[in-house]
Chains A and B, each alone.
Chain A
Amino acid sequence: MTAVSFENVSIMFGDNPKSALPHADKGLERSEIQEQTGQVLGVHDCSLEVQEGEIVVLMGLSGSGKSTLLRAVNGLNPVVRGAVHVNNGGDMVDVVSCSKARLRDIRQHRVAMVFQQFGLLPWRTVSENVGFGLELAGMETAKRAETVKHQLELVGLNDWADRKVGELSGGMQQRVGLARAFATDAPILLMDEPFSALDPLIRTRLQDELLELQHDLKRTIIFVSHDLDEAFKLGNRIAILKGGRIVQSGTPREIFSNPVDDYVQDFVANMNPLGVLTARDAMEAGTGDTAVDAETPIREIMPNLAQGPVTVMENGTAIGRVSAQSVVARLSE
């Protein structure tokens, strides 16, 4: 099932956004379009399907249009041309053309969001912030308190329920942000660089926690990141943006093995390959002592390699082996 589908989405900022479309169609860059029309290209002609239950990461340098594209899903940015269909319990609703009331309904029940700068209300306590979405949707107080309590348990913040959010560290504040989004039970979650403002240790911890939560809750997540390691760690699929256009989308491995251009190549060159390579990618001919599946990440096999090569199995048959030498050979490619 499709959860969100972007269809030729173009977003321009300025007083006459339509005037920039012909220029963008000709393939002009943002700076050229701005010079000629005074409009700022946000994203142009982006198409992408997001399936239910998957994590899709929008990747790109700062200013490449990731946030702009993401914010089209809940109508925070006006789409100039194209459509964004969101799965609204079976039927696909175009949030670009639907009524205000319908959009509000989708925002309350179908699509929740987590922000880079948290977006928490500083005069409210942790639980009041977590319950914010439910409150807007009109959930009655008793039921809300129960849901909030459950969410706080999930993110490990029970002891902080009655504190003001300002008393919490950045990492904890973003846990509140996550809990607020998960609390509404919205099947689709938008996350705009939620961990970028945090220091690396906390960031890694929250990424792991998010994966754990996702394992249990199985939401559809569209995640914005400028960090390829993060993208490869979290994403089932990745779309790479450049200058407001999607230049490549696919699974992390597809992108890692076949970067379409120098821009993607540059990204890939800067990342830790152990995050994506699987046994299949670092194979050589021969057999080993123990057996692993072809899709096992290299990272997991590494400790075993000290004892000798391991056999790679696919559908019950050996297709090669991984040895310390073959891994080093693949990494130095």
Chain B
Amino acid sequence: MDWMTEYKIPVGDAAEAVFNWLQKHGAVIFDGMAEAMEWLIDAILWVLQSPHPLIVVAVMAAASWFVHRTWKVPALIVVGFLFIMNQGYWEETTESLTLVLSACVVCMGVGVPIGIAMAHRPRLYAWMRPVLDLMQTLPTFVYLIPAIVFFGIGMVPGLIATVIFVVPAPIRLTYLGISSTPTALIEAADAFGATPQQKLWKVELPSALPQIMAGMNQTIMLSLSMVVIAALVGADGLGVPVVRALNRVDTGLGFEAGLIIVVVAIMLDRALRVGEDK
């Protein structure tokens, strides 16, 4: 069986060569991206951290009331955050929320246009499908490495890793929504002389809105599931105490931080279930 291993196909070397080339020639692009993302992260962080925590919680509770028109969700949010503050995790929670929100902004900003383009161009769809599969099946740790190489340590590489893992979801759901617009509606728009732009804005997007919103919910929940991995590349947030607990084999700390993540997940999940209230 020696002939099998005699020549090893240089997968690893090739990947490294590609990354080296990208690092050398794509520096401007990556720096620009990093700067934009840092700006976004700072802005969201400032909004969440500069007011008094109780004011932030009150605003969030009020917003959820406007969306849901029931006292249950705001009550859950108030109780949840009070518990988080009691445990002393407010700062970490705002950092993680920042990561989740920036990932949401980036993923929707990138994913929706790509999903639309794929629905309109069958060839692009054929190309993108395997790419999306790869992005979702490649173990997350594998692309943490180039994320560090390109963007160093901190919130930005954490955001990048999160986006790579999460963005296929809104892309797929947008694609699904746009391409399942009933033909009858497309034809009605055509028959009344719609331009491609009008067709997109007045027919396809409204028709795909439920799927796009579902894509946003998935984006947020999937991003939250990435906070621990983001902590490995130096992103602040609730992942940090989890990683620290892992290093020190500190069961108590691990449970504490884990429970906080669960509480945040429950609050987000309820807040995002618009239209399912009784």
Q: Flag if A104 contacts B187 (CB, 8 Å).
A: no
Q: Flag if B185 contacts A76 (CB, 8 Å).
A: no
Given A76-B191, A107-B190, A136-B189 in contact, is the A115-B206 Cβ separation under 8 Å? no
- Complex Cα distance, B196 from A136, in Å, reads 11
Q: Flag if A112 contacts B191 (CB, 8 Å).
A: yes
The stretch of A15-23, A81-89, A117-125, A312-320 in contact with B is A117-125
Given A115-B184, A121-B185 in contact, is the A135-B202 Cβ separation under 8 Å? yes
What are the residues of chain B within 8 A of A121 when measuring CB–CB?
185, 188, 202-203, 206-207
Of A74, A105, A117, A190, the residue contacting B184 (CB under 8 A) is A117
Within 8 A of B (CB), among A109-146: 109, 111-113, 115, 117, 119-121, 123, 132-133, 135-137
B3 within 8 Å of A (CB atoms): no
Given A121-B206, A123-B206 in contact, is the A136-B184 Cβ separation under 8 Å? no
A108 within 8 Å of B (CB atoms): yes
Q: Flag if A107 contacts B192 (CB, 8 Å).
A: yes
Given A119-B185, A121-B185 in contact, is the A74-B191 Cβ separation under 8 Å? yes
What are the residues of chain A within 8 A of B193 when measuring CB–CB?
103-109, 133, 136-137
Count B-side interface residues using an 8 Å CB cutoff. 17
A184 within 8 Å of B (CB atoms): yes
- 0/1 interface trace, chain B 154-195, chain A, CB 8 Å (1 if under): 000000000000000000000000000000110111111111
Q: Which residue of A lies closest to B203 (CB)?
A: A121
B20 within 8 Å of A (CB atoms): no
Of B187, B207, B209, the residue contacting A119 (CB under 8 A) is B187
Q: Flag if B206 contacts A136 (CB, 8 Å).
A: no
Q: Which residue of A lies closest to B190 (CB)?
A: A76
Q: Which residue of B lies closest to A117 (CB)?
A: B184
Given A121-B206, A136-B198 in contact, is the A112-B184 Cβ separation under 8 Å? no
Q: Which residue of B lies closest to A184 (CB)?
A: B192
Q: Flag if A76 contacts B192 (CB, 8 Å).
A: no
- Complex Cα distance, B24 from A27, in Å, reads 68
Interface centre among B188, B192, B202, B203 (most CB of A within 10 A): B192
- 0/1 interface trace, chain B 197-221, chain A, CB 8 Å (1 if under): 0100011001101000000000000
What are the residues of chain A within 8 A of B207 when measuring CB–CB?
121, 123
- Complex Cα distance, B87 from A330, in Å, reads 97
**19 A-B pairs with C-beta separation under 8 A:** A76-B191, A104-B193, A105-B193, A107-B193, A109-B193, A115-B188, A117-B184, A119-B184, A119-B187, A119-B191, A120-B188, A123-B206, A123-B207, A132-B188, A132-B202, A136-B194, A136-B195, A136-B198, A137-B193
